[in-house]
Structure 1
């Protein structure tokens, strides 16, 4: 009996990963984080999608993140940058977020004897987030195994996929319409196709347009 825990936000990538996990593991759970992000709609979407998928959903409070790092996803006074500067990551970078998410996910998973962790990070469409890189994930995987004396496997099914490829995978999994209409990727908290102009929406839309052109 294979078991997996999906780090789940209710966005395009983690939703695609959830249904990928359902195809590849016998039992799947989801873990969502409240880290003081701008929009509660993300958590609402995550809970609704998990319910639709028929998997357990747990929401964990990590809002301490907004107390120790300064970024536009947790600070309402900051505007989300629409264009990433050349000399630094975008101001949507939440320092240490994926490291903390995966660390808490591992603690949660070990308590339930779940060895497989699934996350939607990827570096094919690199957005300047250092904690989305394959090198980081492999390093953290080893660290978690050593720190808890437990053999975790972190799965990153989207690591080398472009956004166009992520749309293709959702179509293969039979969830294209669900991903397009019910996920929240938008930094401005608009469900589905989003606001259309924030960086997350631009990346999502470009990938969608490229995929639809290829599919037709």
Structure 2
């Protein structure tokens, strides 16, 4: 990973789920790169409503600023439902959300980010895109080992070797708390971007779009909702 800063000559592929983190990453990328495309993965997730939310987030993001609309390129969706069946978890099957024998949450999908990054790297290679952007974070996260900086840096090295060319994976949220992620969105796009993320993005593991909270829609008690709510509350309480 390398913080490459603003560069109007570089293109990027954003791993885009339609949640708070990936929406913030999309805005971050649109603020920096000449061309930005997005990729989503259908792995049979129970909260499949995120696949619909991501389209609304993209459309509303483009409407915020003309330069963002000009830079936003195509969206791609990759069918990984076969992998989702192999890597069964509480995100892909009717299982309780709890800790397993290893101390990992049952929402952990084994190797998910490793698979996502490999597929995204192949797509970026064929599309001529220079950088992968992902919302992985090791500060405020649900205990997933494939979100850690060491994991992402190892994947960047492996993919660079496998593709026989340097591959940059940018993770702008890696060291941020959820509160700081809200603050980053505020810095990038002001209240309009924050409002967009609250209203249109989806994070809830249970796919609940009926209950509206100050921080957005969700069940309010799954791990994803709890992280998002606490982060929003801490950010909103700042002077």
Q: Distance in 1 between matches of 2:204 and 2:128?
A: 34
Is this contact kept in 1: 2:132–2:168, CA < 8 A?
yes
Give 1:115 shift: 1.6
Unaligned runs of 5+ in 1: none
Give 1:90 shift: 0.2
TM-score (norm 1): 0.94
Equivalent of 1:59 in 77, 80, 103: 77
Q: Distance in 1 between matches of 2:57 and 2:37?
A: 12
Runs of 4 or more above 4 Å deviation: 84-87
Q: Following superposition of structure 1 onto structure 2, how do residues 87-106 of structure 1 map, counting pairs within 5 Å?
A: 87-106=102-121
Equivalent of 1:167 in 182, 185, 193: 182
SS in 2 for 1:27: strand
Give 1:87 shift: 4.6
Unaligned runs of 5+ in 2: 1-8, 63-68, 210-215
Give 1:12 shift: 0.3
Tell me the alpha carbon deviations over residues 40-93 of structure 1, each in whole angstroms, 9 at most, x when there is no partner.
Answer: 310011122223324321111000122212210001x21233xx4685110000
- Structure (1/2) with the larger strand percentage: 2
Is this contact kept in 2: 1:119–1:154, CA < 8 A?
yes
Is this contact kept in 2: 1:31–1:57, CA < 8 A?
yes
Closer, same or farther in 2 for the Cα pair 1:135/1:164, shift >3 Å? same
Q: Following superposition of structure 1 onto structure 2, how do residues 136-147 of structure 1 map, counting pairs within 5 Å?
A: 136-147=151-162
Q: Distance in 1 between matches of 2:172 and 2:234?
A: 20
Equivalent of 2:42 in 34, 37, 49: 34
The residue number in structure 1 matching 2:19 is 11
TM-score (norm 2): 0.85
Across the aligned residues of Structure 1 and Structure 2, the Cα RMSD in angstroms comes to 1.4
Q: How many residues align?
A: 212
The residue number in structure 1 matching 2:28 is 20
Is this contact kept in 2: 1:115–1:151, CA < 8 A?
no
Is this contact kept in 2: 1:80–1:187, CA < 8 A?
no
Q: Distance in 1 between matches of 2:10 and 2:88?
A: 39
SS in 2 for 1:26: strand
Equivalent of 1:48 in 56, 61, 79: 56
The residue number in structure 1 matching 2:130 is 115
